[in-house]
Structure 1
Amino acid sequence: MTLIDEPQTGPVLRDGAFGPARNLVCRECGSTRDLGPHYVCHECFGPLEIAYDFGTVTREQIEAGPANIWRYKALLPVPDDIAESPNLEPGFTRLLEAKNLAAELGLRRLWVKDDSTNPTNSFKDRVVAIALSAAREFDAKVFACPSTGNLANAVAAAGARAGIRTVVFIPSDLEAAKQVNSAIYTENLVAVEGTYDDVNKLASEIAGEQDGWAFVNVNVRPFYAEGSKTLGYEIAEQLGWRLPDQIVIPVASGSQLTKVHKAFGELVALGLVEDKPCRIFGAQAEGCAPISAAHKAGVDAIRPVKPDTIAKSLAIGNPADGIYVLDIAQATGGAVEDVTDEEIREAIVLLARTEGIFTETAGGTTVGVLRKLVETGQLDPDLETVVINTGHGLKTLDAVSDRVGPRATIAATYDAFVAADIV
């Protein structure tokens, strides 16, 4: 079997392998094709995504499910028995009301969706779980990805749990902590000289040449991307089955933002939540902000950039879903904003010291953008707001290690303590 995006017979798929998923549909021209390891439309070369025929889905049905993403299996391209397959069981992470941070920023009500508590400490465990299910159905022999770090961690860990060979590709200058977090799970960590976009190009070439390789964010991308919908489902459920007024989401490729938006739309269509306006904001780092730049310029084309930022998990200079992020921000009355590396560092410390949440640089970007949106009047401080923290700060210690540490080093005596004037 060859997992490449061209006509092929492929594996024989079992009935119900993809649950309610009906087919693949082009996001540009609307052409459809059968479910399979395809990601590019053969009519217009646009990106493919999954379309569904949902049956009746109730709140009670969802609430009776496990405390992980499989509670939403009726809304995902996975088999009904998905929970029985070895997996990391990600999801249903905490939604914390951030009263201290809200007071600091002048917001009426603020929540943090904290995905740092997933099995490998980032939201990527969600998308990888869906991609792994698809890879199994396609009889893949190798589970792989190009990554800015968190995805590599998630793929390597999920592959180890599932007993499938994994190979993960990363930029060679990736944070050391993220390299260790991948290498601990797999011996096949490959560092590539260049940016993430260079790594992604190499992965696409390998996917087209190697037999039986499932690259989660290349030839299995339509399935992989659906995992981000579970963030939207959980936020709505944890808010008491309602949508927030505003949400701020970090943007790299843009897939997470577009899928959270898709999730909200599905919940409304199924009658699980009431329809209401929800303004969606995207957050980028100034050193890699092609979508923010396009939004501010009022254009609908994304000009690729070469990343130069400490927020390496957001450092995708040619974002695949960039134009869709622009469309959603405009349609919902939101925006796409960016912050400097210094503002990212400040926001990491701010979140930690107000809410006890240690976020990585992507979360620092999101909180920094939240603060900037309030200060510039782009975000309404009186509306209920959710901000997504996608990963744990232990992955990016270098970002703040030079600005935090011991207040004083003292002798082990009471007099030394008094002299240090700690209180």
Structure 2
Amino acid sequence: MQLNEHHSRASKYYLACVDCDWQCDAEFRLRCPACRGALSPQFNPKNAEPQKASEPELTYFDFLPITSRRFLDPGISLPTPCRPAAALGAEIGLPNLWLKDESRQPTGTTKDRLASVVLAVFREFGIKEWVASSTGNSSTALARAVRRDPSMRAHFFCGRDFVDAHRFGTSDRISLTIVDGSYADASREARTFAEESGLVWEGGFFNWARREGLKLAYLEAFDAMARQPDVVVQAISSGMGMMAAHKGAAEYLAAGRITSMPRFLMVQQDTCAPMAEAWREGRGELTESDVIDRPTGLARAILLGDGRATYPYMRDIARTSGGGIVSVTQAELAAARRLIREREGAEVCHAAAATIAALRTEAAAGRVTADQVVLANLTGRSRP
């Protein structure tokens, strides 16, 4: 989609539907009114350049849908290392393996990146009070960011099985409502509460500001790597992070900072793998029969039992990039987590370890080869 003259005059960016030709000037809108598709900020990446700065959002400000640096709150997220993993790579047959270690973020996961950009976008559009839900990591990161801004107020919802993953205290500005049910149940109640209270629903996957924040991990990684990656691997629940990675790569390709799109490999765990199963069966969508009401598994951060709304985007990314969506067993998750600790000294969560579990299997099957440069995003650590 080309940047038209009207939008280029109106703002730094505009919003365009990923699924159809609908577009609008910059505003906080979650879904396309024409087809209900996901919206994505569009700008001309040929005019964008990374800058020398200590804050990721300032380094990549040209690539963000934020019109002024004053909307950013310093210290919400940090740049994190991306380094070769020779010992681990040798163990799994991929000597050109690189690890992006997002466990170094302040709350321990890559979700600090989305918190920074979401709050900046909210400030830009004058949003002061809003409602969100998550399995823990996103809400923990968002709550930390809200705590630093006395003008903000947030209402978080979570399923009862995920209460202990929400690591923040409540106050008159930060509330947590516990729902008897799954993450999907909590999200439904949160949306209802937002509508009945006249508050903004933060949006989860369909909040494009989230994805814009998460893509910064990949821009950092591309800039740090000696060679651009042939394969990019991340664990998914809704697939928000992988959609962010794909957009970041597309923008870097358009900007001439990489020369080709990598393959995108997505990973779920066998106890909660509706997307991996649909991909393996060649299906274009998920149905009611694919929904898992109360998913369980070691990788709690990716326990999303209802992926119907977002699977088509993951399928398209896998299909167009020559990648795929795979699942790994609980035993493979545990073994990969130990291997990362023993070979690289990194203490990551099971969701992060899913990348190495999948790569080990893919390498053994010859679907990822020793000559390929592989980037695994370790999205976080386990919190005590």
In the superposition, the TM-score normalised over structure 1's length comes to 0.81
Counterparts of 1:372 and 1:224, CA distance in 2: 31
- Whether 1:42 aligns to 2:33 is yes
Q: 1:6-155 residue pairs with structure 2 within 5 A?
A: 20-22=12-14, 24-54=15-45, 56-58=47-49, 62-82=50-70, 85-155=72-142
Q: 1:24-423 residue pairs with structure 2 within 5 A?
A: 24-54=15-45, 56-58=47-49, 62-82=50-70, 85-163=72-150, 164-174=152-162, 176=164, 178-179=165-166, 181-183=167-169, 188-215=175-202, 217=204, 221-240=207-226, 243-273=228-258, 275-303=259-287, 304-306=290-292, 307-319=295-307, 320-394=309-383
For 2:198, what is the secondary structure of its paired residue? coil
- Retained in 2: the 8 A contact 1:145–1:151? no
Q: Which runs of 5+ in 1 are unaligned?
A: 1-15, 396-423
Superposed CA deviations along residues 296-331 of structure 1, whole A, max 9, x for unmatched, are 111211243212322221011223332111111122
Please say which of residues 186-195 and 98-107 is displaced more in the overlay.
Answer: 186-195
Counterparts of 2:62 and 2:11, CA distance in 1: 7
Superposed CA deviations along residues 208-228 of structure 1, whole A, max 9, x for unmatched, are 23234352527x702222112
In structure 2, the CA distance between the partners of 1:44 and 1:57, relative to structure 1 (3 Å rule), is closer
Counterparts of 1:345 and 1:354, CA distance in 2: 14
- Retained in 2: the 8 A contact 1:207–1:215? no
- Retained in 1: the 8 A contact 2:233–2:264? yes
* Structure possessing the higher radius of gyration over alpha carbons: 1
Superposed CA deviations along residues 133-174 of structure 1, whole A, max 9, x for unmatched, are 111122223244210110011011000012222222122112
One-letter code aligned to 2:244: K
Counterparts of 1:324 and 1:148, CA distance in 2: 21
Q: CA deviation at 1:184?
A: 7.0
Q: CA deviation at 1:342?
A: 2.1
- Retained in 2: the 8 A contact 1:106–1:381? yes
Superposed CA deviations along residues 246-283 of structure 1, whole A, max 9, x for unmatched, are 1111111112111111111111111223x125111001
Runs of 4 or more above 6 Å deviation: none
Q: CA deviation at 1:35?
A: 2.2
One-letter code aligned to 1:246: V
One-letter code aligned to 1:385: V
- Retained in 2: the 8 A contact 1:283–1:338? yes
Q: CA deviation at 1:97?
A: 1.4
- Retained in 1: the 8 A contact 2:279–2:324? yes
One-letter code aligned to 1:357: A
Equivalent residue pairs, number: 369
One-letter code aligned to 1:260: A
Counterparts of 2:13 and 2:78, CA distance in 1: 21
In the superposition, the TM-score normalised over structure 2's length comes to 0.89
Superposed CA deviations along residues 172-221 of structure 1, whole A, max 9, x for unmatched, are 11263x23x22378752222111111111122222323234352527x70
- Retained in 1: the 8 A contact 2:109–2:137? yes
Q: CA deviation at 1:70?
A: 2.3
One-letter code aligned to 1:183: G
Q: Which runs of 5+ in 2 are unaligned?
A: 1-7
In structure 2, the CA distance between the partners of 1:381 and 1:302, relative to structure 1 (3 Å rule), is farther
What value does the CA root-mean-square deviation take over the aligned residues?
Answer: 2.2
